[in-house]
Structure 1
Amino acid sequence: MISVNDIKDFANRAWNRGDVLRGAALSDPEFPLRLRFKKAGGQHVIDSFAEIQRWVSELNASSKDKRGFGYAVEFSQVNHRKLGRQNLPSDIRFDSPYDLARFIGKQNDLDEYLTVLRYSEEQNPSVAAWMKSNPMKVLPHMQDWEKVLRVCDYLLANPRPGIYLRQLALPGIDTKFFEGKRAILSEALTQCLPREAYEDCVTGLSRAGFERRYGFLYDEPFVRFRILDDSILPDSDYRDVSVPATDFARTPIPGVQTVFITENKVNGLAFPMVKGSIVVFGLGYGIGELAEAEWLKDKRVVYWGDIDTHGYGILSMLRGKLPHVESILMNCRDLDQNKNLAVQESSDTRRTDSLTNLTDAELAAYQRLFPGGDCEGTRIEQERVPYMQLISALRLDDRKR
């Protein structure tokens, strides 16, 4: 038998799915919303007649008939040989979103949502149309919705503004507002801005994704590299250089034939001199921005990462953008040779997903780090690998070429 608490659980699930707010906004035909009972067998009715009567009384006591809101109880008549005609509950019915919302104490949220929706329909119909289908995304931000719409108005009037967010002079809207609202702002802006007013290919918020998508300036990351051949940039006194990522991506470095990439700062600083080469270091997953450099597609690119799950993850991500990337010191032989130098990779952050851009040799080493593998949780940091192994790998690599 379904209890009043079961009905509340049913109503809360409908609320959390957004059915109630969508129903109020769209006059959704899902209402009336029904919770159907299983039909009781004749013998069960006889055996539990007193219990059923108490149950019916409890359902009625909390129903719309008694309280003026909430659910209605539908009955169906059952002809029973011993008990005669009996009216037993067959359905619980919520006639409207308002009945359900009030029943679970959400009436104020419903009223506020509809007020915000009506205001949005007047100010920005495109955003309002999206709100009707996505009410649960809006709900946590209703107190700030007027500000969200003002940002939309600003970017409609000033697409791709080319300023820093801190320079945006809108009353009551500061940097903290953007820090907490980037995701919902991006949803709203995508609905109302013309396609040419934003970069559709920028989909995430990491690495200043909001700023890049909507044309704001941002404090972009730097790419640090060392020149490993004195014939590269011979007129410059600088051999250890840091430049904005966009500058690195836009401007090929004359004389460079090979770009080595290493995660670790110390390894980048200690990397040996190699003809026609530079080494880029210290980027981690920020390597994704490095891969935007078109000129790297015509260069040899060699990656040396930690032998841990994230090292292989970064390699796979990089190769997804630059398919010709090679790796060094990241196969099973290197794993076995340096197991005595290993530390434990945290199980909380360890990757176990499928990486589709690894070679067979790299994949074999990666899978040995999985749960159940013979090197489960192993982490061999680059800086712990003996320097002579790097020298040998570079010599071997040079001979292969």
Structure 2
Amino acid sequence: MSARWTTPADVAAKVRRRWDDGSLLTALARDEPFPGFDVPLRGPKAAELGSELAAAQDWVAQLERGAYDGRRYHLEYGTIGGQHIGRSRIPTRARLTEYDQAWALLGVGRSVAAYRRILELTAAEPAVRAWVEAQPLRALDAAEDWPRLLAAYRWLSDHRGSRRYLRQITARGVDTKFVERHRPLLARLLGTSQTAPGFLADLGLRARPDLVRLRFDPAALGLPKQLSEATVRVAELAELPADVRTAMIIENEITFLSVPVPAGGVVIWGKGFEVDRAGRMPWLAESKINYWGDLDTHGFAILNQLRAWLPQTRSFLMDRETLLAHRDRWVTEDSPTNARLDRLTAVEAQLYTDLVEDRLGPSVRLEQERLDWAWVQQRLPIS
């Protein structure tokens, strides 16, 4: 059989395009008439019947079997040939006139049945039903979860602005992990941001409080002298009437615990890009700020981010001398960044460029905790 001749698979491919873009199911959900498909069939020419008669007969038989007695498509016939070879009747068009034919041709009966169940479940929620109609394949991706999705949707809708924690959800069969797993879909249904913080904020629910861990000179924060370390809510710490002369912001936890607390100052555990939490302390605006992070591209990106809050920040132990002195302790940075960093000093920017462009080696990284401690002690800011 010629590869140019239309097969049942070719007919199905024409219909599948309307399944893959969701429009067939959308039409079904909106009770619209079946759109219909009229597929012209490419078959043997009259001149080919003599030399490829057996192949042409097989082609006709294949199309007729594929029609499955009209349950998948109807065939229309025409005649070809003439006085020299005789006239032959062959299929010329395949037509689909009802939804059930499309489902049978594509083998999607179970999916259609599941979609009908979703439509029934969402009938009482107009906004959800409209989304299910417009996004049928996405709705099917969560077919087994729709009873719980609706329970979560209703609870979240009813508790907008309640200032509750998500952990307090009481919807039947729903817990916080379920909501987090389906947050992108629930966000579309509820009209909120899909990000975790934005989702909660848009719903008027409470987020887990931001915390910052710090060691301190108690006098600088007006705290009892018996205290030397605390983990505090960022919003509450920002309200303290603090008088901090200097702050050290440190990337690594053990290094954070190891460096001395400056007199009249604090040491803050930066925890990577969570340095924003330190930056939100208004009483640091006029303080001397020293930052020490990993010597890699992301370390400089974090420094750049911190300076958006505290432009007076100075880096230490993030210099070329320190990097080259510890060559035997380098590791490989997994996913280096090449972002544009506009808040680095000229010296920092040059080293960052060298790291980005692999001038010192492929994806060079010197982790903070790998530095020789004697080297560190000699170069710590003393105030």
Q: Which amino acid aligns with 1:152?
A: Y
Shift of 1:135: 2.1
Are the aligned partners of 2:250 and 2:291 in contact in 1 as well (CA < 8 Å)? yes
For residue 336 of structure 1, the aligned residue among 318, 324, 342 is 324
| 1:227-270 deviation digits (Å, cap 9, x = unpaired) | 2x56512542222221124434x425612355433220111112
Shift of 1:281: 1.2
Match of 2:126 in 1: 125
Q: Distance in 2 between matches of 1:129 and 1:265?
A: 49
Task: Report which stretch shifted further, 149-158 or 363-372.
Answer: 363-372
For residue 268 of structure 2, the aligned residue among 280, 287, 290 is 280
Give the direction of change, closer, same or farther, for the CA distance of 1:321–1:171 in structure 2 (3 Å limit).
same
Match of 2:182 in 1: 181
Task: Report which stretch shifted further, 334-343 or 27-36.
Answer: 27-36
Give the 5 Å matches for 1:253-268: 254-256=242-244, 258-268=246-256
Q: Which amino acid aligns with 2:195?
A: G
Q: Which amino acid aligns with 2:168?
A: Q
Give the direction of change, closer, same or farther, for the CA distance of 1:383–1:111 in structure 2 (3 Å limit).
same
Q: Distance in 2 between matches of 1:363 and 1:110?
A: 58
Alignment of 1:271 onto 2:255: no
Give the direction of change, closer, same or farther, for the CA distance of 1:386–1:86 in structure 2 (3 Å limit).
farther
Alignment of 1:21 onto 2:20: no
Give the direction of change, closer, same or farther, for the CA distance of 1:289–1:282 in structure 2 (3 Å limit).
closer
1:62 partner SS? helix
Alignment of 1:144 onto 2:145: yes
For residue 239 of structure 1, the aligned residue among 224, 228, 241 is 228
Q: Distance in 1 between matches of 2:357 and 2:74?
A: 53
Are the aligned partners of 1:316 and 1:355 in contact in 2 as well (CA < 8 Å)? no
Alignment of 1:204 onto 2:190: no
Are the aligned partners of 1:264 and 1:382 in contact in 2 as well (CA < 8 Å)? yes
TM, length-normalised to structure 2: 0.74
For residue 225 of structure 1, the aligned residue among 211, 214, 219 is 214
Task: Report which stretch shifted further, 145-154 or 125-134.
Answer: 145-154
2:323 partner SS? helix
Are the aligned partners of 1:22 and 1:135 in contact in 2 as well (CA < 8 Å)? yes
Give the direction of change, closer, same or farther, for the CA distance of 1:31–1:175 in structure 2 (3 Å limit).
same
Match of 1:195 in 2: none
Match of 2:340 in 1: 356
Q: Distance in 1 between matches of 2:53 and 2:20?
A: 36
Shift of 1:43: 8.0
| 1:81-109 deviation digits (Å, cap 9, x = unpaired) | 98787777777665555433333332232
Shift of 1:20: 3.3
Shift of 1:57: 2.6
Are the aligned partners of 2:34 and 2:99 in contact in 1 as well (CA < 8 Å)? no
Q: Distance in 2 between matches of 1:327 and 1:49?
A: 84
Identity %: 26
| 1:196-246 deviation digits (Å, cap 9, x = unpaired) | xxxx6x6413xx66444433345445311122x565125422222211244
| 1:152-181 deviation digits (Å, cap 9, x = unpaired) | 333433322223334333344344543543
Q: Distance in 2 between matches of 1:169 and 1:146?
A: 14
Shift of 1:117: 2.3
Q: Distance in 2 between matches of 1:81 and 1:374?
A: 84
5+ residue gaps, structure 1, are 191-199
Are the aligned partners of 1:368 and 1:376 in contact in 2 as well (CA < 8 Å)? no
State which structure, 1 or 2, has the greater radius of gyration over its C-alpha atoms.
2
Match of 2:116 in 1: 114
Match of 2:299 in 1: 311
Give the 5 Å matches for 1:20-169: 20-26=24-30, 31-32=35-36, 50-63=54-67, 66-71=68-73, 95=97, 98-121=100-123, 123-169=124-170
Q: Distance in 2 between matches of 1:213 and 1:288?
A: 21
| 1:275-319 deviation digits (Å, cap 9, x = unpaired) | 654232162344455555566666665543223454345446556
Q: Distance in 2 between matches of 1:215 and 1:325?
A: 35
| 1:2-53 deviation digits (Å, cap 9, x = unpaired) | 5445655666665444343233234689944677777988988887564354
Q: Distance in 2 between matches of 1:37 and 1:316?
A: 64
Count of aligned pairs: 376
2:249 partner SS? strand
TM, length-normalised to structure 1: 0.72
Are the aligned partners of 2:163 and 2:204 in contact in 1 as well (CA < 8 Å)? yes
| 1:62-83 deviation digits (Å, cap 9, x = unpaired) | 12xx344334567787789987
Are the aligned partners of 1:162 and 1:217 in contact in 2 as well (CA < 8 Å)? yes
Give the direction of change, closer, same or farther, for the CA distance of 1:270–1:172 in structure 2 (3 Å limit).
closer
Are the aligned partners of 2:76 and 2:94 in contact in 1 as well (CA < 8 Å)? yes
Match of 1:197 in 2: none
Give the direction of change, closer, same or farther, for the CA distance of 1:168–1:381 in structure 2 (3 Å limit).
same
Are the aligned partners of 2:46 and 2:81 in contact in 1 as well (CA < 8 Å)? no
Match of 1:193 in 2: none
For residue 205 of structure 2, the aligned residue among 211, 216, 219 is 216
Are the aligned partners of 2:214 and 2:231 in contact in 1 as well (CA < 8 Å)? yes
1:232 partner SS? helix
Give the 5 Å matches for 1:285-304: 285-287=273-275, 302-304=290-292
1:335 partner SS? helix
Q: Distance in 1 between matches of 2:166 and 2:87?
A: 72
Give the direction of change, closer, same or farther, for the CA distance of 1:26–1:261 in structure 2 (3 Å limit).
farther
